[in-house]
Amino acid sequence: MALNKSMHPRNRYKDKPPDFGYLASKYPDFQQHVHTNLTGRPIVNFKEPEAVRALTCTLLKEDFGLTIEIPLERLIPTVPLRLNYIHWVEDLIDGQKQLRRGIDIGTGASCIYPLLGATMNGWYFLATEVDDICFDYATRNVEQNNLSELIKVVKVPKKTLLMDALKEETEIVYDFCMCNPPFFANQLEAKGVNSRNSRRPPPSSVNTGGVTEIMAEGGELEFVKRIIHDSLQLKKRLRWYSCMLGKKCSLAPLKEELRNQGVPKVTHTEFCQGRTMRWALAWSFYDDVIVPSPPSKKRKLDKVRRPLSFTLPEAALKELQAKASTLSDSPQSPLDSVTALLVKTLSDLRVLNKRGPCNKQEQSLFLTALENTWIHGRQKKREMVRQLRELPRAPHCQTTGVTAASSSSPAPQKQPAPTGNSNTQDDGTQNKTTSGQQQPAELNNSSTNETLSQTVEPKDVSLHVAGEDVDMEASIATVAGQETDAKEAPAADNDRPSKRALSPGAVEHFLFKCLLNVMLEDSDVIIEMHWVEGQNKDLMNQLCTYLKNTLLKFVAKP
C-alpha cells in the first residue's frame, strides 16, 4: 500500500502488510473475524473490537512470539502504530543493540510497548498504570511471556506521572520515557463532537478503551504538559522524554511550552500507518543527544537534494556517437560523445561550462547560466502576452524578462497536508485527515528519471525540480491557450542564440549555477543536474528539458 511508504523504514509492516488470508489459515481464533470482500480479498472489519483484538493478538504471536490477553472494554492497541513509535525511540536513543532502560507511562492492559521493546531490543522497562484492570492484565501479560526480569509494572496514583514512579529509584538514569496519553478531554470529544470536521465521515475503526484510558482532564494537551512539568524537575534523570499525540494541533502548543521552558533539545515526528496518522514529541536536557530531524524537514531536504535527470538508453547512444564524431576526429566512447554534445549545446547557448572530475564511469561539468538563452522566441512572446493578461490581477515579482516562463509555472499541485484530528483513540487502518482524503503517495524518486524516447509528448518533458512537479511545456501551452508542440518547446534548433565570447571571470551576476553529471550506468547514459545556487530552480528545469530535447533531435535526425 502506497501509504505505508510513510511508515518508519524499519517497520516490518512497511512493505509487507499482514497477510490476513495466511493468518486466518493458521489461527482459527482470527479466522472467524476474516471476511471476503466482493473481489475475493480477505478483509477485517475494524469497527468490531473483537476483530481488532484478534488481529493484534495474532500479529503479536506470529511476528513477535508474544501471547497476550486484553479485555474488550480496554484499549486495544494496533501493532503497526506501536512499532512505529518503538522504532522512533530507537532512533532517539540509538537503542537497537545496547542495553537500555525506559519508562512507559500508562502501559495499558496489553503492556504493548514494554513487551515489544523487551522482545525486540532487550530493553528494561518500568511500566506505570493507574487503572486496576489494566494493571492486572499488564502484570499477567508480562508474566506469561516470561519477561518479568525486564519489565516491572507499577501501580501509580492518578495525579502523578513520572515523579511518583521514580521517587524510589534516585540513582538510575533512564534512557527514555514513552507515553500514549489519554487523548480526550471529555465524553463528547471521545465521541468525536468538536474534534473533527462535521463533513467527515465517521471513523471507520472502533474507539475502544475505558474512561480513564482515553480521557484525562484537559485531554492530551494537559496530560503532556504535566509530563513536561515533571521533566523540568527530573531533567537529566531521563535522556529523552517522549509522548505520542492523537491530534496534530497539540504539537505546536506543546513545542511552544517546551521553548518557553528553555528545553534545549526538541523534536517531533509523525507516524503513518494505513490511513491513520499520529504525531509524537520528544525533548531532552542533554546536549550530546542525537536529535532526529522532523519528517517535514527530512522531506524538504530530500527535495532540495534530488537532482533532475534523464536517461539516454543504449539504443540512442550509437546515433549520438555518430553525431559527436562530426565534432572531433578521434573516436569517442558513448560517455565522451554525450559530454561533447552537451558541451557543444551549452556553448551554443552561452552557458558557461567548466570540466570537473572525469573518469570512465562519470564526467562532470560545472555550469553557470548568465541569461536565459534556451527559451524559444515564440514561447517568450506567449509568455509576455500571458503576463500582460495577468498583470492587473496578479503582478509578479520578476527578476529578468526572459525568466518569466519559470516564474509563471503553476504552483505545484500540492496534496493537502495530513492535518487531521482523529477522534479515534486507536489506529485500525484508518488515516483520518481533515480533508477526509487519502494521503498522497510519497514522491517517487524514480519519477524524476526520464527515458529518452523518439516521440516526446508535452508530458514527457515534465521534470521534477527539487521534488516539485514543474511541467514547463504543459504550463506554457495552457497559459497561452493553445496546443504546444513539444518539439518546438525548448528552442533546440530554432532561434539559436548568437555566438558571443564568454568571459568566465566576469561572472558576478548569474541566473543559476549547477553541476551536470554524465554517468554510465549499465549500458545507458544518465544525465543528472544538481542545483547549486541561483534565482529559480525552474530555470534549471528548462535547461534540462532543452538539453534533453536537443540530444533527442540528434537521435531523430542522424
Closer Cβ to ligand SAH, 161 or 525, answer by number = 161
State the minimum distance, in angstroms, from the CB of residue 61 to ligand SAH: 17
Is the CB of residue 359 less than 8 Å from the CB of residue 382?
no
Q: Determine, following the binding rule CB under 6 A, whether residue 107 of this chain makes contact with ligand SAH.
A: yes
Binding ligand SAH by CB under 6 A: which of 182, 203, 246, 458?
Answer: 182
Provide DSSP, 182-208. Answer: --BSSHHHHHTTTTS-TTSPPPSS---
Give the one residue of 11, 110, 448, 541 binding ligand SAH; rule: CB under 6 A. 110
Residue 321 interacts with ligand SAH (CB under 6 A)?
Answer: no
Interface with ligand SAH, residue 112, by CB under 6 A:
yes
Closest to ligand SAH by CB, 77 vs 418, is 77
Q: Where in 305-396 does DSSP place strands (E)? A: 308-312, 352-358, 362-369
To the nearest 10 degrees (0 to 180), the angle between helices 132-144 and 112-121 is 20
- How many residues sit in the footprint of ligand SAH (CB under 6 A)? 22
Nearest partner of 76 among 205, 215, 246, 223, judged by Cα: 205
Rg of the Cα trace of the chain?
A: 29
Distance of closest approach, residue 113 Cβ to ligand SAH, in angstroms = 6
Q: Is the dihedral of CA 474, 476, 482, 484 positive or negative?
A: negative
Contact 238, 175 (CB under 8 A): yes
105 binds ligand SAH (CB under 6 A): yes
Binding positions for ligand SAH, 56-75, rule CB under 6 A: 75
If one asks whether residue 18 binds ligand SAH (CB under 6 A), the answer comes out as no
Cβ of 160: how many Cβ atoms within 10 Å?
Answer: 15
Per the structure block, which three cell numbers stand in for 363? 564526467
Question: Which positions from 331 through 390 interact with ligand SAH, judged by CB under 6 A?
Answer: none
Give yes or no for a contact between 169 and 143, defined as CB atoms under 8 angstroms apart. Answer: no
What b/e readout covers 218-243, taking b as 16+ CB neighbours within 10 angstroms? Answer: ebbbebbbbbbebbeebeebbbbbbb
Minimum gap (Å) between residue 232 Cβ and ligand SAH: 17
Examine residue 317 and tell whether it contacts ligand SAH (CB under 6 A).
no
Helix (H) or strand (E) holding 239: strand 238-245
Q: Which is nearer to ligand SAH, 116 or 514 (CB)?
A: 116
Q: Does residue 128 bind ligand SAH (CB under 6 A)?
A: yes
Question: Min. distance of Cβ 145 from ligand SAH in angstroms?
Answer: 16
Residue 105 or 520: the one with the smaller Cβ distance to ligand SAH is 105
Looking only at the bridges linking them, the beta strands covering 34-36 and 276-284 are: unpaired
106 counts as binding ligand SAH under rule CB under 6 A = yes
CB nearer to ligand SAH: pick between 243 and 486: 243
Q: Which is nearer to ligand SAH, 216 or 308 (CB)?
A: 216
Pairing of strands 174-179, 101-105: parallel
Site string for ligand SAH, 159-178 (x = CB under 6 A): --x-----------------
Distance, in Å, from the CA atom of 324 to the CA atom of 342, rounded to the nearest integer, reads: 10
1: burial class by Cβ within 10 Å (0-12, 13-18, 19+)? Answer: middle
Q: Which of 34, 93, 134, 518 binds ligand SAH (CB under 6 A)?
A: 134
Q: Does 77 contact ligand SAH by CB under 6 A?
A: yes
Chain residues 198-237 in contact with ligand SAH, contact rule CB under 6 A? 212-213, 216
Residue with nearest beta carbon to ligand SAH = 106
Closer Cβ to ligand SAH, 102 or 182, answer by number: 182
* Contact status, residue 365 vs residue 356, Cβ threshold 8 Å: yes
Near ligand SAH by CB under 6 A, which window of 52-60, 103-111, 397-405, 455-463? 103-111
Nearer to ligand SAH, 111 or 516 (CB): 111
Q: Using CA atoms, how far apart are residues 136 and 126, in angstroms rounded to an integer?
A: 15
**130 belongs to the binding site for ligand SAH (CB under 6 A):** yes
The span from the CA of 264 to the CA of 235, in Å, is 11
423 binds ligand SAH (CB under 6 A): no
41: contact with ligand SAH by CB under 6 A: no
Residue 180 near ligand SAH by CB under 6 A: yes
Q: Which residues bind ligand SAH (CB under 6 A)?
A: 75, 77, 105-108, 110, 112-113, 128-131, 134, 156, 158, 161, 180, 182, 212-213, 216
